């Protein structure tokens, strides 16, 4: 019995010990598992922290390499994009950008502050509304081409054809010093002012406007070299020239000097170097005049030195409109100065029209002219008083009177934009009763 009890107690003790050992083993295993997971997590975290700077550095370097290679291109592309946006902006707003607007924009960009102000003011105002004025000489206005007898009389007296005809006695409300004048709206052909505008007179170097038109429309190379020869020397008026015989310039330079500085040898060389020679060139000038409807016009040579080159203000307005269609003629005629290489020296040439250097004028095309038979002459395209105008002044008596007449016309139009009454003032009109038609 005692042995059985002892055995039973021993068995129980063994079982309890085994159970206790099992629990201890399970707890130890669980603790080891938790410890292992903690270590793995800690190692992973440490590895991640260690790798993070390396990865970020690699990413930064990878991003920096293309950025460094494209930085300049990106900036340039940005500028191009801004220019494209600026250029496209008017179109998004529904505006139409014409070639004239582009040309004026370029001109404004190069202009001085006073010039930009003058052009902006001209664009901002409403078109001037004036009562058109037309005056004619009381004597018969010459419509036929004056002959050799008139040229002889002019040479003997030193008077212009207009003075011999009595055209300077024609009164007008603006008191112009030119015996012939025409002011016409370039867009509508409305004549705002006409003074003996159908009189046929010598036109001097205004001829060179047709010389330029024929040269440009022939599409001859402007880079071709042309040499001044003895044939280009003036034997009509024996005028001087700074283009010495033997000097070689491009056709483009000759055209520039003929339009800007009214260089006679340059204009003659343009005609002489034309395919077929001078005779073919003069024929082309007269053909172009007929195509433009210039029935009062005749040319015998390309410089204007001959008094037989004759036209009317009405015809010259048509010529100015046609020449204005060519940007090259516009740019060269309104150029202020040009330095030409003549032989071993450089010669500076300047524009013969002083208004080109006046910042209050917006001139798109111009040409001056003078011989005794023609008096002082001027043709211009200019923007003023909200209009684009063609202005023609022939047979002006004083050296600066043609420019002063242009200023008188401008003041007249500008007063019309600010005054409630349009047209010439009554007191000025009253000075010539019965002589004016409106």
Q: Is the pLDDT of residue 192 over 80?
A: yes
Active site residue 335: no
Of 208, 288, 367, 388, catalytic: 208
Q: How confident is the model at residue 130 (pLDDT cuts 50, 70, 90)?
A: confident
Count helices and strands in the chain by DSSP H and E runs: 13, 13
Of 122, 160, 262, 383, catalytic: 262
Dihedral through CA 78, CA 82, CA 87, CA 91, nearest 10?
110
Predicted confidence (pLDDT) per residue in 34-79, tens digit: 555 544 444 454 454 444 444 444 434 444 443 333 333 333 333 3
Instruction: Give the whole-angstrom CA distance, residue 167 versus residue 157.
Output: 16
Of 154, 205, 333, 401, catalytic: 205
Predicted confidence (pLDDT) per residue in 307-338, tens digit: 999 999 999 999 999 999 999 999 999 999 99
Helix or strand or coil: residue 250? strand
User: What pLDDT does residue 140 have?
Assistant: 59
Active site residue 262: yes
Of 392, 336, 335, whose CA–CA distance to 368 is shortest? 392
Active site residue 56: no
Domains of the chain: 113-437 (3.40.710.10)
**What's the predicted TM-score (pTM) here?**
0.69
Predicted confidence (pLDDT) per residue in 71-102, tens digit: 333 333 333 333 333 343 333 333 333 444 44
Tokens linked to 254: 């000759």
């Amino acid at each position: 019995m005692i042995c059985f009890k002892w055995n039973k107690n021993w068995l129980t003790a063994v079982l309890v010990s085994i159970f206790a050992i099992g629990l201890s083993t399970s707890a130890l295993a669980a603790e080891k598992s938790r410890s292992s997971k903690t270590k793995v997590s800690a190692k992973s975290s440490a590895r991640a922290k260690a790798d993070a700077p390396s990865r970020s550095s690699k990413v930064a370097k990878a991003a920096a390499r293309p950025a460094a290679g494209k930085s300049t291109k990106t900036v340039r592309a940005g500028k191009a994009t801004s220019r494209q946006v600026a250029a496209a902006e008017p179109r998004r707003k529904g505006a139409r950008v014409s070639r004239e607007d582009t040309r004026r924009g370029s001109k404004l960009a190069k202009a001085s502050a006073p010039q930009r102000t003058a052009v902006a003011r001209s664009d901002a105002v409403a078109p001037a509304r004036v009562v058109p004025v037309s005056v004619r000489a009381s004597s018969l206005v010459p419509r036929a081409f004056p002959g050799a007898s008139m040229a002889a009389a002019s040479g003997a007296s030193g008077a212009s054809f207009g003075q011999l005809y009595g055209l300077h006695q024609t009164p007008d409300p603006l008191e112009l010093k030119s015996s012939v004048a025409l002011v016409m709206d370039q867009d509508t052909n409305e004549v705002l002012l006409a003074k003996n505008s159908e009189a046929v007179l010598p036109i001097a170097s205004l001829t060179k406007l047709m010389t330029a038109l024929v040269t440009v429309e022939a599409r001859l190379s402007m880079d071709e070299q042309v040499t001044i020869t003895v044939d280009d020397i003036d034997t009509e008026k024996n005028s001087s020239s700074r283009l010495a015989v033997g000097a070689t310039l491009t056709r483009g330079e000759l055209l520039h000097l003929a339009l800007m500085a009214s260089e006679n040898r340059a204009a003659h060389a343009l005609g002489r170097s034309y395919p077929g020679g001078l005779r073919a060139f003069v024929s082309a000038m007269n053909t172009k005049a007929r195509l433009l409807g210039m029935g009062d016009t005749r040319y015998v040579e390309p410089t204007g030195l001959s008094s037989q080159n004759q036209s009317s203000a009405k015809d010259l307005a048509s010529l100015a409109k046609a020449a204005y269609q060519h940007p090259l003629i516009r740019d060269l005629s309104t150029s202020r100065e040009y330095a030409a290489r003549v032989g071993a020296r450089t010669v500076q040439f300047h524009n013969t029209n002083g208004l080109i250097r006046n910042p209050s004028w917006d001139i798109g095309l111009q040409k001056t002219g003078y011989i005794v038979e023609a008096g002082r002459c001027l043709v211009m395209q200019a923007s003023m008083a909200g209009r684009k105008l063609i202005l023609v002044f022939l047979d002006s008596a004083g050296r600066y009177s043609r420019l002063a007449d242009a200023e008188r016309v401008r003041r007249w139009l500008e007063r019309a934009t600010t005054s409630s009454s349009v047209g010439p003032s009554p007191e000025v009109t009253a000075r010539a009763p019965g002589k004016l038609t409106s």
